[in-house]
Structure 1
Amino acid sequence: MTAVNRPARLNRTLIALIGLLLLVAGGYAIAAQRGWLGWVDRSAALTPGTAAPATWVFYAIVVGAITVGLLCLRWLAAQLFRMPSTEKWQLADEKSVGATVLSSATAAAAVVADIESFDSVDSASGWLSGPGRAPELHLIVTARPEADLTELRRRILGEAVPRLRQALEVGVIPVTMELRLTDDRKSARVR
């Protein structure tokens, strides 16, 4: 699990637990309906008595359903990929008279444009996180299917990243990179 995708383990665990719970509940309902459970009477009413429940029960059910629905929407929104917020870096020392302020998005846009100029790259996105003196570069690069990924990785780490290091005047920039291939089947169908 990378630092970029921290909630992945929690999400997978919660999805697995909810799925297991639903499987158990469904299996219990099927077993009860088939009469396989000795302690459940198939002919018994689901709720005791024939009178309608109190009005507050309906309101509680509606509030509970709305709450669960909103929590599900929030969880779904959290699954979407979000980049970290941009930071403003001050590139001058405290002793200098003037100051140069650079947005991390501006620096990331420059390295992305550099990578997109490579022959085998269809698109790229990237962002810089962390403080200005110790930034971390995160890249998602989409290449053509015929691209040599080893060579592409070598070019990115050997050409684009050193230019960024030189521009930011830092010695080391840790890089996380995701390389994707363009799907020819999709591009062939879209006209």
Structure 2
Amino acid sequence: MIRTVNRLLLALIGLILFCAGGVAMARGQGWAVPSWWPYNSPHDVLLSRANRLRWRNEDWWWPVVIAALALILVLALWWLLAQFRRARLSEIAINTPDEDGATLNGKALERVLESEAEAQDGVAGARVRLTGHRTAPEVRVRLLLEPHAAPADTLNHFSSQVLANARHSAGLAAFPAEARLRVTKHHAEQVT
């Protein structure tokens, strides 16, 4: 969704700036601009003194201006914060033999993958996040390993068992994964 909003906002802003720049350039070159264009005379200004002072004494003017600016600020902050969120799949499309298709809840699949990963020997904790597209999901995994765990064996078991089961159960042709491994902090053991 955020990609769509970004593209629409950029397209709208770009179109407005392109049109305004084109008309300003045409007017600056002395070319004719449409008669309906508000600034078609070389002596026109953007805001005349009368327009600047027109609403000043109205009771509703300043609350409306402040509310509009606050709304613009809130929307701009929402848009900025949305840039840092990673997309999370809410559902995965599954092909079925009857061609109707079905969907699988993304959070449910994440919880299953986490519980199966944590059931492995040497895994203290797991975090799973589904990304990608609903027809081509990807998985990001963070595994917290215990000190005695062998990272290569743990990763091999996770990819050959846990991910393979999930891929087969969901009927996916491919299920790309990115795994990050971290070891729990532990104190050195004393030998006597």
Larger Rg over CA atoms: 2
Q: TM-score, normalised by structure 2?
A: 0.49
Q: TM-score, normalised by structure 1?
A: 0.49
